[in-house]
Structures are given as C-alpha cells and as structure tokens.
Amino acid sequence: MTDTSASVRVGFWNTWLLRPRVWPGGPVMPILGEKLAPNVGLRAPLVGAAIRNRFDVIALAECFEAPEQQAVAAAWPEATLVPGPQRRGLKLTGSGLATLIDPSSVTLVHTAMHPYRTGGDLRDSDTFATKGALLTRVLVGEIGEIDLFSTHLIAGGDLLPVPGAEDTDRHHAARLRQVDELVSFMERERDPSNPMLLVGDLNICAYDHHPGLTDPTDRYRDLALRLEQLGLQDLWVAHGVGPGHSCTFTEPSDLPSDPDEPDQVIDDPTANPAATPGERIDYLWLAQATSGATTVTPDRPRRWAFTGRGVRGGKAGSLSDHLALSVTLHLQATA
C-alpha cells in the first residue's frame, strides 16, 4: 500500500553565534570579535548537539561565520548544511542564516537565496551584516515537498549615540522595506504546488511595549498584512499556547522547563502578553499550497531553551538569548 501521509519536524533558532572575523574564515576581529556575544566558541558545538536528532530541518539565524557554522554542523555530522547569503561588498559579516537538514528524514531538492538591497543606515549596527533570506525546499517521504523560507530582519540602532539612532519608527520602516523584498522573493521562488513555511527573527514584536504606540499590536499588523497576502498564517496565533515570547528573558524563572521535555519551555495558556517576561519576535508562518495535491496540518508549536548545557548564552540560562521554535507538520496527499 502506498503511503498517503508523512510528517516533518521543522525548527528555527536565532543562535547568537556572533564573532566577526577580519576576513572570511580568518582570525577573530580584535577586541570587538569577542565582545558581541558570550562564549561563542563553546556554544557553537553545543548548539549542534542540542538540535541533533530533534528536528528534520532547522533554520538558524546569527550563525554568522563559516567557523561557527562548521562547528555547529560538526556536532551533527549526518546533517547537510545549507548556508545563506555570505558577506559581500563592505559588509563585515554574512547573513547569519544557515539551514541543517537530516538526509535520513527528508531530501534536499532546491535552494535559493536573496540578499536584501534595503535596510537601515550607518546608525545601525546590523547595516554591516548581509541581511537576506534563504529558501530550502525538501521532499518529505514520497508525499510532497515543503518550501522553507528563513530570514532575519534588521533590528536597528545599537551602534553610535547619534540623533535618530534609536528611532524605532525608522527601524520599523526599514524592516518593512525588507519584508516587501522578502514577499517578492517568496512569490518568485515558491512552488505553488508546495506548502510554504516562513521562519525567522523578524524583530517586530507581536505585542510592542513602546510608549509611543497607541496600540501595542500596530507594528505586528503591518507585518501580518504583508504576509497574509501570500496566504501565510501565524502558527502561534492559530495553534500556540500562551503568548509565545521568544527572547529578552532575564531570570531562569522566566523559562520554566516542561516536565515532559526539559529542553522545552512550558507554555501557560492563562499568561497575559502585557505582563509576561520577554517578547515575541521569532515566528513560524504557514501557507497551504495554492495548487497540487498536498495539504499540511500543523501540530501545536513549541519553544526550546536548551538550558543546563554548562554554558549560558541568554541571561536566563538558555543556550542562546533567543528560544528555538518548532512545529511538526503532517503532509497529506489529496489525490
């Protein structure tokens, strides 16, 4: 009997493996290279060990330089590494995007990438990174393919204390310009017969506490309006439990472990996003195929802290300053 269904475990994680090199693969940049993120050399292999056998496909962000990507991949030697846009021109580092694929679970079919032309300006530290998007298309069993797009949008500011550097309206406008590029890239590269999953650190808060906003969801709605035109649905809104905050944690109590899976964070369905520590800027957005004969049903998305590894990334004890997100997708052949 021919199988008509198959499942795939997909993840996304901003790993905060930021250690700029003087040149690609070269020595760490003096002073600056060791100050931007903690314990990068120790955490990179721990990241690879944490995700090994947890996911069939996982997209990473802030895994910037080849040595860090290789250290992550070496801890999961069976996986196939697909790097995203690399440093170009005057950019000091690459996009930080990289996707790892377990070839025993899925088959890599196609890749494409797009470096963003737009972004911030010289007041923004991440102007010096090659921001962009990465497509990884995989075949799940013999049922069908999934188009996995990953990205990391500009945060803005965090460089020099000059006028306008920390203007959040300016940062938001720069992110939306990148979203417009992302939408065009997805429209151009997606296969309409495949379900499509967009993952990434979009640096747009689902509930933004900025005092200048009349409605804390205004900026999120700007994002959603652009992505919904592609049929994309925010999986945490549709299927998540609790606010789903993914970063900006300060205390271990912010990240209570799930007793059934200690690497995961337990989700509180009664938590108020306005009063819960952290913020939600990491996302999973899913769209069904617009043609073809495959449908996809998602399970509840989950958050992963990977605490207790002996090296802290985030202040709350997680391996990075962001949590990983995951979802299991069930593909069904309809014809």
CB atoms within 10 A of CB 64: 30
Give the CA dihedral 284, 290, 291, 297, nearest 10 degrees. 40
Confidence of residue 182 (pLDDT cuts 50, 70, 90): very high
Q: What is the CA radius of gyration of the chain?
A: 19
Confidence of residue 1 (pLDDT cuts 50, 70, 90): very low
Mean pLDDT of 202-210: 96
- Which of 48, 52, 56, 2 minimizes the C-alpha distance to 329? 56
pLDDT of 32 reads 75
pLDDT of 118 reads 95
Tokens 């196609």 identify what position?
110
The domain in which residue 33 lies consists of: 5-333
What type of residue is 99? T
DSSP string, 117-141: S----TT-GGGGB--EEEEEEEEET
Which segment of 26-30, 200-204, 270-274 scores lowest on mean pLDDT?
Answer: 26-30
Alpha helices in the chain (DSSP H): 40-51, 66-74, 168-189, 218-228, 235-239
Strands 196-201 and 282-287: antiparallel
Task: Compare 38 and 161 and report the one with higher pLDDT.
Answer: 38
For residue 14, the domain's CATH number is: 3.60.10.10
pLDDT of 2 reads 59
Q: At 143, phi and psi to the nearest 5? A: -85, -50
Q: Per-residue pLDDT tens for 109-151?
A: 999 999 999 999 999 989 889 999 999 999 999 899 999 999 9
| Whether the Cβ atoms of residue 93 and residue 87 lie closer than 8 Å to each other | yes
Split into its structural domains, the chain has a count of 1
Confidence of residue 92 (pLDDT cuts 50, 70, 90): confident
Helices 168-189 + 218-228 axis angle, to 10: 10
